Structure 1
Amino acid sequence: MKRIPLLSTAFIFLWFSTTAQDTLTLSRGQCEAIFLRENLSLIAGQLNIPMAEAEVKQASLWPNPQFTLDEINLWATRHQTGGKEVSPPIIGNWGRNQQYAVSLEQLIYTAGKRKKLMALQGVGVEKAQQYFNDLLRNLKLELRRQITELQYLQLSEQTFQTQLQSVNDLLSAYERQLEKGNIAAMQVTRLQSKQFELQKELHELKQQNNETQKELKQLLHLPPQTFLKLSSEQFERALTDETIPTYQALVSKASTNRPDYQLALLEKSYFEKSYFYERALRTPDITVNGRYDRNGSTMLNFVGFGASIDLPLFNKNQGNIRKAELGIQQAKMLSQQVLHNVETEVAASYKSLLNAHAFQKGIDPKYLQRLDHSLDAHTRNFLSKNINMLEYLDFLESYQQNKLSILDAARDLNNAVEEVNYASGTELIP
């Protein structure tokens, strides 16, 4: 596939239109598009396919003929010729009494070795494709996990920022009341303690954000100084019972699409073709030759033809044939093991998906909105002294835990969907 130029015009426009600073705002879809275009591991891995195709091309070539020029005497002495003209000149006066021989040899493969070797190398092309598919599958899973994690961290930061803003506003009001002597210093200290707690949580989230940013920028091959900001779209999957495929459908797809299982089957095919190729090597190849010899025999100009062949008395390639036979048996057993692993992984990921979906399905979609309204209401009631400090701080703690639990549920469902797609080797669930 032809390499798409790095950072296309549309992407460059997107880059500079987002912000004057090094902040780049992307959606999940845009991240994947950049990943497929810019990830150097993918680009390098894809080159293995034409490399394998080149090996097939090489296997299709016949061996070169061999040209030999020998038995040349550069001059002939009087002692050698007895002063006579033993042989006439070749051109003009050149070549009198000189000898040389010319031969041409060509190796001819027998027993269809060339076609069998091409078939063997052809399996290498299929394996290279499946290795690339497996690399893409693993990198995609890692990319989507990191995207989900960054979305989760950014939404968590917003939750803590909302609480911190509320506490900051209250703290400013209470500090003014403290200056007037209307409240005790302990109440301000309690709010300052909560403020510090929220600031610490935000600091830890920013540290995690930085680490996730690093992983994503490596996958997307973005400049190190870029700050990624992801939109929250598709963080919460609109998953229904009808969109979840059955376990049997997943297993069927996995047995057809999982690169690791396909590689196990190709390994068996490789040894089968290797077996036929090694058996063909038992048949000796033939070398045919033609030879011209001037002044080297009873004839002045001798032209002769010949052929040579190995005699398979001792080496009949027994060891390599036996190795190929054992390779077939080994590949059969390993493919059965890989298939069992595939089915086990599909079953585990499917169970996790059902659990994650059931948990999120039980969350009222309007609950988040009511939580935010409750925060505003509790803040007003606290300022109006309808509730005390302890009640307000308890609500803040509950608010924080509930908001994070809802975000956790969305993250878990997102990751569960990707695990099912990964285990089945295909994107059955969009």
Structure 2
Amino acid sequence: MKFFASLFLCLTVTCASAQQADSIVVTIQQAEEIFLKKNLLLLASRYQVDAAKANEIQEKLYPNPTFSTDLATYGDNRKWFDIGRRGQKQFGLDQLIILAGKRNKRVQLAREQTRETDLAFYDLLRTLKYELRASFYTQVYATELATQYTEQLQWLQQLINSYEQEANRRNVSLKDAVRLKSEYIQLSADRNAVIMDALNAQQTLQLLLDTSVNVMPSKEEWAGRPLPSRETLLETAKKERADLRMKYSQVKQEELNYRLQKAMAVPDVTVGAGYDQDGNYVSNFYSLRASIDLPFFNRNQGQIKQAKAQIRVAGLEKDYKELTIEKEIAGSYARLLEAEKEYQFSQTGFNKDFPAVNRSVIENFNKGNMSMLEFMDFFQNYNTAMRQVNELRKQRRLAWEELEYVTGASLD
């Protein structure tokens, strides 16, 4: 057992030294700054916005004119490619004239699509930022709890060493030493589970910050903030939630598309001019021409009907999103209130003097002033309370982050 304890301490020191050599210590503000600059998904989303803006530019362009030519290849005069002064050639230049404001309507639709893409970027930012903050605080509290476990394990190891020596001298029962070792194994397993949580959070942080070094969150004291009313939070969410504003944008897009499809029922006009050297009723014939589709059969009826139905679809999806946000606010608000209540209750039962009491109990037990049963009862209860208080503090912090996430805005 001494060998494993020594190995454990050596590995802990070695890992700590390696982490210091290849790690960065960041506050939550610094982590967010790195995240905004380096996150790959955010960079890709920014390019999506640029692509949408390029499409908006494209829709503003007018159609190009069309140039056509007809050159003589072979005729009755038995000459090949007779396109000289006495031959034949024909030229034409045509321009499509878009009617019924179709171009402006396409530009308006493209502009609204760009706005939706921009909102999608901010919704992605909201989601990833919440994931970043949740992982940051998960690692903060997991690291804190792991440190407390390590301290308890060190105290326990000292007791085990002492009891093994006394058991060899037959001054204490061997079963007491075994009992302490069993508690050590259980406590070590609990610590390992906490470290696994910290490692998972670390992996997420490295991915979000696009780094291969260990990210060491800097713990900051947080006393909480005044909680706005649920009605205020709901009004804020309706203004700030990018995914809801995307639904509003989609409704507007469908309305713009409906207007565009109605305009598409109006045919466009093509106008042009031509020159015919010797293929018409007179030589060197100049002409003006115009053409238009006759809307006898296809008046875009299907597309108009579809666009009208899509307006109703987008409206219902927008209403559903509003209802979803209302329920999310209510649920997150209730969870935060419950977390705050439990945290405040824990503060009255587990105060800052408890660690000193814990050390005093361990020292008294080591001096033989307490029985094994009394010590184990206190030691286990203390560790349980330590773990639960840490969990309550973490859940309180994460509940606040969740409320900011579902509101879509900082609540400072």
TM-score using structure 2 length = 0.90
Q: CA deviation at 1:189?
A: 1.6
Correspondence 1:252-267 to 2 at 5 A? 252-267=235-250
Distance in 2 (CA, whole Å) between partners of 1:362 and 1:182 is 44
Distance in 2 (CA, whole Å) between partners of 1:298 and 1:228 is 86
- More helix per residue: 2
**Selected match of 1:407 from 372, 390, 393:** 390
Q: Is the 8 A contact 1:167 1:191 kept in 2?
A: yes
Give the secondary-structure state (helix, strand or coil) at the position aligned to 1:25: strand
1:239 paired residue number: 224
Matched, 1:352 2:331: no
Give CA-to-partner distance per residue, 1:204-249, whole Å, 9 cap, x none.
22233322222222222112xx333222225xx3114xx1111111
Distance in 1 (CA, whole Å) between partners of 2:85 and 2:56 is 51
Q: What code does the residue aligned with 1:41 have?
A: L
Q: What code does the residue aligned with 1:50 have?
A: D
Q: What code does the residue aligned with 1:246 have?
A: S
Larger mean CA deviation between 305-314 and 356-365 belongs to 356-365
Q: What code does the residue aligned with 1:370 have?
A: D
Q: CA deviation at 1:403?
A: 1.1
Give CA-to-partner distance per residue, 1:109-148, whole Å, 9 cap, x none.
0011100010011110111011111111111122222112
Q: What code does the residue aligned with 1:123 have?
A: E
1:120 paired residue number: 109
Q: CA deviation at 1:75?
A: 6.7
Matched, 1:204 2:193: yes
1:158 paired residue number: 147
Distance in 2 (CA, whole Å) between partners of 1:297 and 1:120 is 46
2:409 paired residue number: 426
Give CA-to-partner distance per residue, 1:392-427, whole Å, 9 cap, x none.
111111111111111111111111111111111111
Q: 1:18 to 1:33 in 2, by over 3 A?
A: farther
Q: What code does the residue aligned with 1:239 have?
A: G
TM-score using structure 1 length = 0.87
Q: What code does the residue aligned with 1:215 have?
A: T
Q: Is the 8 A contact 2:244 2:321 kept in 1?
A: yes
2:365 paired residue number: 382
Larger mean CA deviation between 189-198 and 174-183 belongs to 174-183
1:340 paired residue number: 323
**Selected match of 2:278 from 290, 295, 301:** 295
Q: What code does the residue aligned with 1:119 have?
A: Q
**Selected match of 1:131 from 120, 124, 130:** 120
Q: Is the 8 A contact 1:247 1:350 kept in 2?
A: yes
Distance in 1 (CA, whole Å) between partners of 2:78 and 2:21 is 95
Can you give the 5+ residue segments of structure 2 that lack an aligned partner in the other structure?
A: 1-16
Q: Is the 8 A contact 2:59 2:103 kept in 1?
A: yes
Distance in 2 (CA, whole Å) between partners of 1:79 and 1:159 is 104
Distance in 2 (CA, whole Å) between partners of 1:413 and 1:206 is 20
Q: CA deviation at 1:368?
A: 4.0
Can you give the 5+ residue segments of structure 1 that lack an aligned partner in the other structure?
A: 1-16, 81-88
Give CA-to-partner distance per residue, 1:306-346, whole Å, 9 cap, x none.
11011111111111111111111222222112111111111
Give CA-to-partner distance per residue, 1:67-87, whole Å, 9 cap, x none.
1111x225777568xxxxxxx
1:24 paired residue number: 24
Q: What code does the residue aligned with 1:334 have?
A: E
Give CA-to-partner distance per residue, 1:25-70, whole Å, 9 cap, x none.
2222222222211111111112111111111111110111111111
1:65 paired residue number: 65
Q: What code does the residue aligned with 1:101 have?
A: Q
Q: Is the 8 A contact 2:237 2:407 kept in 1?
A: yes
2:95 paired residue number: 106
Q: Is the 8 A contact 2:350 2:385 kept in 1?
A: no
Matched, 1:271 2:243: no
Distance in 1 (CA, whole Å) between partners of 2:77 and 2:181 is 119
Give the secondary-structure state (helix, strand or coil) at the position aligned to 1:364: helix
Q: 1:103 to 1:361 in 2, by over 3 A?
A: same
Matched, 1:228 2:215: yes
Give the secondary-structure state (helix, strand or coil) at the position aligned to 1:47: helix
Q: What code does the residue aligned with 1:73 have?
A: A
Give the secondary-structure state (helix, strand or coil) at the position aligned to 1:369: coil
Q: What code does the residue aligned with 2:253 have?
A: Y
Give the secondary-structure state (helix, strand or coil) at the position aligned to 1:303: strand
Q: CA deviation at 1:166?
A: 0.8
Q: What code does the residue aligned with 2:288 have?
A: F
Give CA-to-partner distance per residue, 1:267-324, whole Å, 9 cap, x none.
1101111111111111110100110111122322111111101111111111111111
Distance in 2 (CA, whole Å) between partners of 1:285 and 1:248 is 52
Aligned-residue CA RMSD in angstroms? 2.1
Q: Is the 8 A contact 1:130 1:259 kept in 2?
A: yes
